[in-house]
Structure 1
Amino acid sequence: MTDKKTTVNRRGFLQTSGLAAGAATAVGAFPHPAIGEVKGANERLNVAIIGPGGRAQGHIRHLQELGDEANVKIAAVCDVWDGNKDVGRGLYPSAEKCGLNVDDKKNVTKNYRTLLDRDDIDVVLVATPDHWHAKQCIDFMEAGKDVYCEKPMTHTIDEARRVAETVKKTGQVFTVGVQSTAHPQWKMAHDRITGGQIGKIVQAQTQYYRNSAMGQWRYYPLTEDMNPNTVDWKMFLGTEFGLAKDQPFNRARYAQWRCYWDFGGGMYTDLFVHQLTHMLIALGLKFPRRVVGGGGLYLEYDGRDVPDVATVVADYDEGAQVIITATMVNDTPIDEVIRGHTGTIKFTYNGFEITPQVLRGAPAPPTREAAGEGGVEVVDAGFDARGDADTRALWRHFFECVRSRNQDTLCPADLGYAAIATVNLGVDSYRNGKAYFFDKESGQVSEADESWAKKWEKVSHQRGKPNHVAGWEAGDEGSLLYPPDYQKLEGDWVNGQDPAKRS
């Protein structure tokens, strides 16, 4: 193989990746027209907080800081637990923090349904446990409210599909709280990719590594005043709506619910969604075709369900693979990388680096610097995410969309759906010991078989013209290889005749 560089123009990449056929999307890929009535800049937006737990406490602070700037006010709070002032969570402590009267049953409630028909509530933050997200998001959107939903968007794939459909049906403005999507580095990287700077994309990797001495999510404190008299346990479970099975009250399953499959998905949904979502923006991909998940509970033997080591491998019809990996018992990460045929993007805190590839037949040397020709390009995205600035930026953009009735938020429902489909298939693969196919048109899941490998073997045997891949058009070059002259000697000998000598 020679060291001749191959580049792909924007049209070529879109066809190769499937974007041209609408098979993949990224932030801003499908701008929505203005919908409904525009909320005037001088009109205050009233926000209801549903589930003021750990993450929502940060949102309360951001909303209070944005109050005058964005002309917003927290008008109501809902939680199933009375709360504890020392812990600083729950219904009544959160209401006080928001400047609400704890005796005001209209605005301080344990039942979110009392807020559905309120004309004076414009926006709802859904920050409840994962198994409640879909139900509450759909109910509030159908009641005419705009919704900021904490990640993950839903607990199951089917729920994610229904939320995305509800956004389209109601015309409400919706975003998923993946704060990293507010960082411009992902869209900037996507522009470089579609510009052909690193060639055909083949693989990406992302990660989330932590190390907790007490066990992941066990740092949410349990208190004696967290009991059946102060917690509406039936509402938490959602048994009335079939959200979780009926079970005895348990402080750990209530306060540390991320450790249990009934309510969450551990690293897959709490952490993988963060990383995968922004990686999909950069790649311009959406739904995977084939997913397999691995891992296990190798250290955190504390009664939890979810693994402390996990990896998901997702393969895409566009001819690319994404690896998401993590452990909760070691915090040494791997690089967050997108690999193209002619270059590599490595993400940094403020942007990314682009390293050109040397096209050769030997492995790269141990050092990254020696692998490229022309040096490493360092790109600064001009955004400082320290101090949770990305969360504030996500809220600012969301409120702008609410006022203009623009559904093209930084993390729209279809992107949330794609992330949930991927990580949940990883969960099912890990738990059931099977690989799965996902049909992006129907949303149906099936067990994987040998057809995936055979499909790509067929492409290879057709000499790199994958006419069945989304976006392929007759006459386009499929292979990015430059075979050496001796490869002309390849081929079957028929009736003893050398294929190289046949006309």
Structure 2
Amino acid sequence: MRPDDSAIAHGAALSLPARRSFLRGLAASLAGSAFAAEMPWLSPLRAAPVGQAPSDRVRLGLIGIGSRGALLADHLFKTPGVEIAAVCDVHPSNLARAAAAADAAGQMARRFTDYRALLDLKGIDGVVIATPLHLHAPMALAAIAAGKHVFCEKSLARTIDDCKRVATAASRSPNVFQIGHQRMFDARFHKALSYMRAGELGPITQIRAYWHRNTDWRRASASPELERLVNWRLYREYSAGLMGELASHHLHVTNWIMDAPPLACVGYGSTNYWKDGREVFDNVNVLYRYPGGVTAIYDSLSSNRHHGMEVQVTGSKGTMELETGRMFWEELPHAPALTALARQVESGTPAARVPLASATWSPELKQSATGAPILANWEGDDGTGLSLAAYANAIRGSERAPGMIDHAYRSGVAALMGLAAMEEGREVAWPGNYPA
């Protein structure tokens, strides 16, 4: 069944428990179907409600409590059966804020400045890593070696070699490994993918994705010694810039839709606005080539937010805009005047009555239609809370999600391919899979 404007009349906005129930129902409805193979990571959401038994308790250590880590902590405090038993950060103010939040939530989390000491703590089931990108690989590898379950924020790692190392270690571990791509738990993206797989768009011919902001990404540091620690996103040693922080999300979605990584890419990047000593681009443009002749176009900038962010998937029958959750159907073009003339001549209509001077072309401007909702009643849950709930349930049930590591690897490597193409001025080919 295709999305329809009448879908918006199906009910009132869903509450958070209702949204969770909806996704559990979605996961259950897909069990045993061919489509279930597309999203096995949803299966932990079908788990029985969390009880009071000690076996239901999941104790986590949170490594990195900056802006993203603090958001994840807020979700975890609200996740049934989860205890944040330890927090770790090298920045004193981050550590103090996280510990205070844990105390307020009734969870007396121990404080650490060295993540290795946290990993040595007895009784920690898993960790959540939300540190700067260059630390993802060493921390994830150490956690895997320590026998911990791992939730690692995107992007997977700072280098392609490190992506391979982490993916290989995670695939060989019996424990849960999950990447922080919350769109894997966003109901709109699941629904959209089901329509694509059912052929509602026709053959997919192109994907366009963009993420535009108007911000310098710079944060105030208390002293010059803290500059690189606080503003790590601006330095190549620690960051992949816009490709790692933003593009990795949309490249993950593109790989998911195409069910394949890119074959190669080319691109241009520049620092044409924020000339403040940063080492990363503030303007990136990359073309990815996929199997079947499909091209994915990605661009991002940090000097203008007019267009915001979007993933546009186009096919012969229509276009889907996934971030806004809308579907636009293609319309048959109007016959030009010369075609109308031929038809009238064939039917015996006097040629004198045909307006030969009428326009045969009109500007092919963007459609002004509002489109139809891909998923009715969606109210802004981007999947972050559900992804953490699924991580906790996967630990609780010792359930590794098939495909999760592949998603992490493909998106992390695709982002780094684009960065290399811009920095080196050449076409960069897919470097191959990780050794499982």
**Contact map agreement 2:267 2:287 (CA 8 A) in 1:** yes
Q: Distance in 2 between matches of 1:155 and 1:65?
A: 31
For residues 172-183 of structure 1, the aligned pairs below 5 Å read 172-183=175-186
* Equivalent residue number for residue 424 of structure 2: 432
Q: Give the aligned length.
A: 366
Q: CA deviation at 1:442?
A: 6.4
Aligned counterpart for 1:385 among listed residues 368, 380, 388: 380
1:274–1:164 distance in 2 versus 1, CA, 3 Å: same
Aligned counterpart for 1:73 among listed residues 63, 83, 99: 83
Q: Distance in 2 between matches of 1:75 and 1:367?
A: 52
Could you say what the CA RMSD is over the residues aligned between the two structures, in angstroms?
A: 3.1
**Contact map agreement 2:310 2:322 (CA 8 A) in 1:** yes
Look up the equivalent residue of 1:57 and give its one-letter code.
A
Aligned counterpart for 1:187 among listed residues 182, 186, 190: 190
1:425–1:117 distance in 2 versus 1, CA, 3 Å: same
Is the counterpart of residue 222 in structure 1 residue 221 in structure 2? yes
Q: Distance in 1 between matches of 2:151 and 2:279?
A: 28
Aligned counterpart for 1:408 among listed residues 401, 412, 420: 401
Is the counterpart of residue 132 in structure 1 residue 135 in structure 2? yes
5+ residue gaps, structure 1, are 1-25, 228-249, 444-503
Q: Distance in 2 between matches of 1:442 and 1:150?
A: 19
Aligned counterpart for 1:423 among listed residues 415, 426, 432: 415
Q: Distance in 2 between matches of 1:326 and 1:406?
A: 36
For residues 104-503 of structure 1, the aligned pairs below 5 Å read 107-212=110-215, 215=216, 217-218=217-218, 220-224=219-223, 250-281=225-256, 283-333=257-307, 336-349=311-324, 351-356=325-330, 358=332, 365-368=364-367, 377-385=372-380, 390-408=383-401, 412-441=404-433
1:73–1:357 distance in 2 versus 1, CA, 3 Å: same
Paired-residue identity, %: 25
Superposition TM-score, scaled by structure 1 size: 0.66
Corresponding residue SS for 1:276: helix
Look up the equivalent residue of 1:29 and give its one-letter code.
E
Q: Distance in 1 between matches of 2:319 and 2:222?
A: 49
State the 4+ residue runs in structure 1 displaced beyond 3 angstroms: 38-41, 357-364, 375-378, 439-443
Q: Distance in 1 between matches of 2:141 and 2:148?
A: 10
Deviations 1:245-304, CA, capped at 9 Å, x for gaps: xxxxx42211000001100111110111122223433x1433111111212000100000
1:188–1:176 distance in 2 versus 1, CA, 3 Å: same
1:300–1:165 distance in 2 versus 1, CA, 3 Å: same
Q: Distance in 2 between matches of 1:285 and 1:360?
A: 35
Corresponding residue SS for 2:175: coil
* Equivalent residue number for residue 349 of structure 2: none
Q: CA deviation at 1:125?
A: 0.8
1:441–1:419 distance in 2 versus 1, CA, 3 Å: closer
Deviations 1:135-171, CA, capped at 9 Å, x for gaps: 1112112222111111112111221222222222112
Q: CA deviation at 1:405?
A: 2.2
* Equivalent residue number for residue 24 of structure 2: none
Superposition TM-score, scaled by structure 2 size: 0.76
Larger helix percent: 2
Q: Distance in 1 between matches of 2:434 and 2:82?
A: 39
Q: Distance in 2 between matches of 1:272 and 1:27?
A: 26
* Equivalent residue number for residue 60 of structure 1: 73
* Equivalent residue number for residue 97 of structure 2: 93
Q: Distance in 1 between matches of 2:434 and 2:322?
A: 34
Corresponding residue SS for 1:425: helix
